[in-house]
């Protein structure tokens, strides 16, 4: 069995670094890997990434993260990545990684994802160029997921995990105002997941959403935004 601890939307800053540090204390006794589903920082500042690195410095298991919309706010996403990687944290931006624990190999494809809406109400490739740019951004993120799952298929891990910030389904958004669903995720991201298969999808972003959901093809999706869960992290065992 491999135990995945997951959380999102930690929004690290000076005022909460000690709370985060305490929340992750002794996590190695409960989990084999920690996945953080974006919004690592409060305001998108590299110095806040430093605060997060400090809060995580005593964590003795692999840490895998993706960036969220907050982390892009000030245009310092490259610096945020460098600060975290300097602290030994694995940052995925359309890339894959494999970790081994408990006799199993867990492969991760991580990317931020994007909004755009769901089903027949999803943003189309039509109209003003600014909306078509948004549509293409969602397509690009879906293609990253597709590429990552294909790459992991070749690497043959025991489990494949998709780590996102935005949601690929509506189910885990229930509790949020429906008017903002299109800004919280996009169903186009679920298409490669159902086509190629995965064992677990983790995302954040929806602070007032619902923890558990499923893609149309039956892949379990978990909204691990810290405000949604009300705890430092949740643990999802695979192979038990």
Q: For 148-200, what is each residue's pLDDT tens digit?
A: 999 999 999 999 999 999 999 999 999 999 999 999 999 999 999 999 999 99
pLDDT higher than 80, residue 88? yes
Would you give the end-to-end CA distance of the chain in angstroms?
Answer: 5
pLDDT higher than 80, residue 240? no
Return d(Cα 143, Cα 158) in angstroms, integer.
22
Q: What angle in degrees, to the nearest 10, is found between the helix axes of 46-56 and 77-86?
A: 20
Residue with tokens 């081994």: 100
Across the range 222-228, mean pLDDT stands at: 97
Answering whether pTM is above 0.75, one says: yes
Q: Does domain 2-238 have CATH number 3.40.720.10?
A: no
User: Residue 235: its pLDDT value, please?
Assistant: 98
Return d(Cα 171, Cα 180) in angstroms, integer.
14
Across the range 95-102, mean pLDDT stands at: 95
User: Residue 18: its pLDDT value, please?
Assistant: 96
Helix (H) or strand (E) holding 59: none
What mean pLDDT value characterizes the chain? 97
| pLDDT tens per residue across span 25-83 | 999 999 999 999 999 999 999 999 999 999 999 999 999 999 999 999 999 999 999 99
User: Residue 33: its pLDDT value, please?
Assistant: 98
Instruction: Identify whether the C-beta of residue 178 lies closer than 8 Å to the C-beta of residue 160.
Output: no
| Domain-wise residue ranges, the chain | 2-238
DSSP three-state, residue 46: helix
Residue with tokens 């605060």: 51
Going by pLDDT thresholds of 50, 70 and 90, the confidence category of residue 102 is confident
């Amino acid at each position: 069995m491999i135990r995945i601890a997951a959380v999102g939307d930690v929004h690290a800053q000076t005022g909460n670094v000690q709370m985060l540090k305490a929340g992750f204390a002794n996590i190695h006794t409960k989990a084999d890997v920690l996945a953080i589903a974006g919004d690592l920082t409060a305001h998108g500042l590299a110095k806040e990434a430093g605060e997060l690195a400090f809060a995580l410095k005593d964590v003795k298991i692999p840490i895998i993260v993706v960036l969220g919309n907050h982390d892009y706010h000030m245009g310092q996403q490259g610096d945020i990545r460098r600060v975290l990687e300097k602290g030994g944290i694995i940052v995925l931006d359309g890339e894959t990684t494999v970790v081994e624990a408990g006799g199993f190999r867990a492969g991760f494809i991580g990317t931020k994802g994007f909004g755009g809406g769901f089903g027949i109400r999803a943003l189309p490739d039509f109209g003003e160029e600014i909306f078509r740019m948004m549509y293409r951004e969602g397509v690009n993120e879906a293609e990253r997921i597709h590429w990552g799952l294909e790459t992991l298929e070749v690497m043959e891990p025991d489990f494949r995990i998709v780590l996102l910030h935005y949601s690929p389904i509506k189910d885990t958004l229930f509790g949020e105002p429906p008017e903002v669903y299109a800004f919280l995720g996009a169903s186009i991201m679920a298409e490669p997941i159902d086509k190629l298969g995965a064992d677990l999808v983790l995302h954040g972003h929806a602070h007032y959403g619902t923890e558990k959901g499923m893609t149309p093809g039956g892949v379990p999706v978990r909204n691990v935004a810290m405000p949604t869960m009300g705890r430092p992290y949740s643990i999802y065992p695979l192979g038990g």
